[in-house]
Amino acid sequence: MNGYDRRHFLTSAISASAFSVAVPWLQPSATAAGQPRQRIKVGQIGIGHNHASAKMATFRKLADQYEVVGVVEPDSEWRKKRGHDPAYRDLSWMTEEQLLNTKGLTVVAVETDVRDLVPTAARCIDAGMHLHLDKPGGESLAPFKQLLDQAGRRNLAVQMGYMYRNNPAVQFCLRAVSEGWLGQVFEVHSVMSLQQPLAYRQWLAQFRGGTMYIFGCHLIDLVVRMLGKPDRVTPFQRQTQPEVKLYDNGLAVLEYPRATATIRTAALEVEGYRRRQLVVCGDEGTIDIRPLETFDTGPAQPLKLRLALSKPRDSYKKGYQEVVFPPMRGRYDEQLLELARIVRGEIANPYPLAHELMVQETLLAAIDHPRVNSTQ
C-alpha cells in the first residue's frame, strides 16, 4: 500500500469511531464528571454549497454542543439566493476577518461554492481553526495536500463532509469488513445517481469529472475506508445529453490485488435516490445496503440492509437476513456530534489525514479524463 499499513488503519479507525453498536446516537453524552460541557464556538464561511443550510441548521439544532457565532458570505448573489433560509435567521453576518478573529472561535464549517472550498479552508487552518470541510477536496491534489500537511503540523482536525460515514447501516458494513465477517472481500459495487434538472447539469459542467467528481467522492470514501488505496483506477466517462457538455454518466473501476470495486454515478436516473447503494461481497458473506439513506421523501424512515453469512457472527445467523436500524435523527447530526468529540480530544479522528489524502488521490484518478468542452 505504498508504505501505508491498511490493516492498522482499518483496525484503529473502526475502533476510534466508537462503533460499539450500530446506533451511536443512543449513547449518553455527559462528561465524566456529569457536568455539562462547555459549548464549542463555531462559525460558517459560505452558503453556496448545496449542503450549507442543512449543516448550519444542524449546528443550531445541536445547541448543547455548539454555539454558532456567525456566518460569512461575501457574494451578494448567494446572499440573495440563500441568505433568507431559516437556518440563518437571527445570525450575525460577518466578514471572514471578523469571524476568524472572534474570541474563542474553535471550529469553522467551510460551505462555500465548490471551487472556493480548499483556499478558504487553508486560510482557516492558518488562523488555527479546526475544520468541517465540505466535499470534494478540489480538482488539483497539491493545494489539498498542503492544507492537510499544515493541519497535521498544527494538530488541527479536518473532518470532510462525506455524509455516509456516520450512517448506521454503513457503519455496520465497515465493522463487518474490519472484523472479517465477510471473509476476503472480492467485490464492491456502489451507485449514487439522481435525475438532475438542466440548471444543475449546467452547473456540474464546470467540473471536469462531472457527476463522478461531485457524487462519486462519497462512494470512493467508503471504498478506500474498507480496502485502502487502490493499485489502479480506470475511469469511464460518458456525455449523454447534447445540450450540456457534461460527463453525466460515470463509472470508475478500482483495482486491488484480490478485489475490484465499481463506482457509478449519473445525473439521468429516474428516482435514482432510491437506488443509491453499497454492496460488499466476500467469500464468507455479503452486505447489500439499498437505498443508502431515506431522507428523500420527508422524515427519515428506518434503514435496512441485507446480510448473508456463511456461518453465524455475533447474534446474526447463517444465511440471508434483514438488519433494521432506527431512523437517523438527521443527515448530519452524528457527523457533527463526532466532530465535537474530536475537537474536545475525547476520541481520535476516525478518518485521519492520511485517509483524506488517499480519498482525494483516488477521486482525481477516477476523473482523469480530458474536459468535454476542450478542443479535441
Q: Do domains 6-163 and 164-333+361-366 have the same CATH topology?
A: no
C-alpha–C-alpha distance, residues 136 and 360, integer Å: 8
6-163: CATH homologous superfamily?
NAD(P)-binding Rossmann-like Domain (3.40.50.720)
Instruction: Classify 107 as helix, strand or coil.
Output: strand
**How much is the pLDDT for 29?**
44
**How much is the pLDDT for 13?**
42
**How much is the pLDDT for 31?**
53
Cβ neighbours for 28, distance < 8 A, ≥ 6 positions apart = none
Grid cell for residue 85: 433560509
**How much is the pLDDT for 373?**
36
| Annotated domain spans of the chain | 6-163, 164-333+361-366
**How much is the pLDDT for 34?**
60
- Angle value at C-alpha 12, between 6 and 13, nearest 5 degrees: 85
Q: What is the DSSP letter of 165?
A: G
**At which residue does the C-alpha cell 486491488 appear?**
256
Alpha helices in the chain (DSSP H): 6-16, 52-61, 76-82, 96-100, 117-126, 141-153, 168-178, 198-204, 210-211, 217-227, 333-343, 353-366
Neighbouring CB atoms inside 10 A of 313's CB total: 17
Spatial CA neighbour of 180 closest among 358, 314, 2 = 314
**How much is the pLDDT for 25?**
31
Counting every residue written for the chain, the total comes to 376
Contact assessment for residue 275 and residue 301, using Cβ atoms and an 8 Å cutoff? no
Q: What is the pLDDT of residues 187-207, one digit of tens each?
A: 999 999 999 999 999 999 999
HSE of 376, CA atoms in CB hemisphere, 13 A: 7
| Segments of the chain scoring below 70 in pLDDT | 1-36, 296-298, 369-376
**How much is the pLDDT for 16?**
37
Query: Measured over all CA atoms, what is the biggest interatomic distance in the chain, rounded to whole angstroms?
Result: 66
**At which residue does the C-alpha cell 439513506 appear?**
293
C-alpha–C-alpha distance, residues 172 and 43, integer Å: 32
Spatial CA neighbour of 211 closest among 200, 225, 222 = 200
Q: Global pTM?
A: 0.89
**How much is the pLDDT for 26?**
31
Contact assessment for residue 163 and residue 335, using Cβ atoms and an 8 Å cutoff? yes
Instruction: CATH number for 164-333+361-366: choose from 3.40.50.300, 3.30.1360.20, 3.60.10.10, 3.30.360.10.
Output: 3.30.360.10
Spatial CA neighbour of 85 closest among 55, 121, 42, 41 = 55
**How much is the pLDDT for 336?**
98
**How much is the pLDDT for 10?**
43
C-alpha–C-alpha distance, residues 216 and 362, integer Å: 11
Q: What is the pLDDT of residues 212-246, one digit of tens each?
A: 999 999 999 999 999 999 999 999 999 998 889 99
